[in-house]
Structure 1
Amino acid sequence: MAMTIKLSIFNMKGGVGKSTTTYNLAVGLARFHKQRVLLIDIDPQGNASASLGVEIWELDQQLKDVLRRNATIPDVAIAIEENLDVVPSNILMAEEEIPISGLPGRELLLRKAITQIEDDYDYVLIDCPPNIGVFSINALMASEGVIIPVDMSYLGLLGISAIERALELIRSALDHPIQVTGVLATRFDARNNLSKEVLASLSEHFGDAVFKTLIPETVKLREAPSHSQSIFDYDPTGKGAIAYQDFTKEVKQWH
């Protein structure tokens, strides 16, 4: 039987399209490639969950209950559409950060929860918070690969070394051989010289690990979450939808 592919979508900088990438990739894999996908939202902001129409303030149970071992993933997973389930979070999870940090084996709580449901999914995608606290470490320890969205800004480039240090920490201190699946250029504007310069620097630094697809800077991608829709539903023929469809295809081919 094929192994479940577990990927974290991670960057320590906010506003780079991390949640946008996670939820559109999840919908793309489920809908266009008939993959069974579980999206785990380990970001207490709950953006990926909310973008898929989950009423994150009405949750009886959520990911924090799984991490505290008071629930299992099937207890809290919500079916979004055929082949796509989401394990949601909201800001209440932020209050759990300190108690969870004190639990034995705290880095492996998510990995252990996922082992029980692995055979039910082809992909597990984890949307990380923009920092390297206990939640991101849980996500990275539960994944074999990480997708790094980088926005086309000078600060986006500056963040790269911090990400690499964080991954090195996971590899050396926690002995988990996580790989960079790929780096995704987001908020790309072909008319803007800075976009081209940042992309060139990324390619120089990461070489073949940079996805060929460029995610454009578009209003529709920013609007779609407030309508609780993927870009494929909100603006199916627009540049954003075409780009995320291409990106989904690339991720599928890489595995």
Structure 2
Amino acid sequence: MTQKLAVFNMKGGVGKSTTAYNLAAGLVQFRDRKVLLVDIDPQGNSGAALGIPIWQLEKQLKDALQHKVPLSQIIIPTSEGVDVVPSNILLAEEEIPISGRPGRELLLRKVLASVQDQYDWVLIDCPPNIGVFSINALMAASGALIPVDMSYLGLLGIQGIERALTLVREHLDHPIRIAGVLATRFDGRNNLSKEVLQCLGDHFGEQMFKTVIPETVKLREAPSHGQSIFEYDPQGAGAKAYRALIEEVCQWQ
């Protein structure tokens, strides 16, 4: 059965895209899984980080959501073995028209249905908000992977995330679960990082991943080379952390 995860947080700069594309690449490289990465964030960072020239796209996710082309015609294979459904800022321009469509919350779920059986994993990189595209991602997924950066504002946003998931469950009748909460941008020299990590652990308990993603320059540099961290810095702390995350994610059902 295809596992579908939305990488979701309403705050920007928490490592959503970094987690989405590295997790996708790692599942291919280390677990030999067939992975589809859906970039429903108009910034298009996941696709760009894997070397896709997002400003030269002839077709992208918005065209499938508007039923102009089948999703299969949009998928782009990458050198790291991950298939990507890319986006760019033109997706944002379609938010208002898409928001007015009947069944707008289910558009992504419906277009994914035509291809999802070809994949072991579908990972969805969400935008940093709770608009129509994030709702589509949550409605298409069975679980939410929640990256949280080690900052006061990151911690403050937890209530909003939980409220959004509750709305999806209760008002849209979709039983989305938390697949795991991931501590990102952790700096062991920083007392705030340690305090936020402790607070997250106290709040989420067993829903916290044991893996902690460190703050490293290499994780920030890798996208400029169109590579995952496993290709760019395979022996570094970032690669080791994301390899550990892969093992944890593969235990989720």
**Runs of 5+ unmatched residues, structure 1:** none
Does structure 2 conserve the Cα–Cα contact (< 8 Å) formed by 1:34 and 1:83?
no
Q: CA deviation at 1:81?
A: 3.6
Matched residue, 1:120: 118
CA RMSD of aligned residues (A): 0.8
Question: What are the residue-to-residue correspondences of 1:82-97 with 2, within 5 Å?
Answer: 83-97=81-95
**The one of 207, 219, 228 aligned to 1:230:** 228
Q: Distance in 2 between matches of 1:141 and 1:170?
A: 7
Does structure 2 conserve the Cα–Cα contact (< 8 Å) formed by 1:35 and 1:83?
no
**Counterpart check, 1:199 vs 2:189:** no
Question: What are the residue-to-residue correspondences of 1:161-176 with 2, within 5 Å?
Answer: 161-176=159-174
Q: Distance in 1 between matches of 2:164 and 2:25?
A: 28
Question: What are the residue-to-residue correspondences of 1:57-206 with 2, within 5 Å?
Answer: 57-81=55-79, 83-206=81-204
Read off the aligned partner of 2:115 and give its amino acid letter. Answer: I
Over the matched positions of the two proteins, sequence identity in percent amounts to 68
Secondary structure of 1:150 counterpart: strand
Does structure 1 conserve the Cα–Cα contact (< 8 Å) formed by 2:25 and 2:80?
no
**The one of 13, 21, 24 aligned to 2:22:** 24
Question: Which runs of at least 4 in structure 1 moved beyond 4 Å after TM superposition?
Answer: none
Q: Distance in 2 between matches of 1:21 and 1:82?
A: 15
Q: Distance in 2 between matches of 1:102 and 1:174?
A: 17
Read off the aligned partner of 1:169 and give its amino acid letter. Answer: L
Q: Distance in 2 between matches of 1:92 and 1:113?
A: 19
**Runs of 5+ unmatched residues, structure 2:** none
Q: CA deviation at 1:254?
A: 2.0
Q: Distance in 2 between matches of 1:212 and 1:124?
A: 22
Count of residues paired in the alignment: 253
Secondary structure of 1:253 counterpart: coil
Q: Distance in 2 between matches of 1:123 and 1:82?
A: 15
Q: Distance in 2 between matches of 1:140 and 1:150?
A: 17
TM-score (norm 2): 0.99
Q: Distance in 2 between matches of 1:81 and 1:118?
A: 20
TM-score (norm 1): 0.98
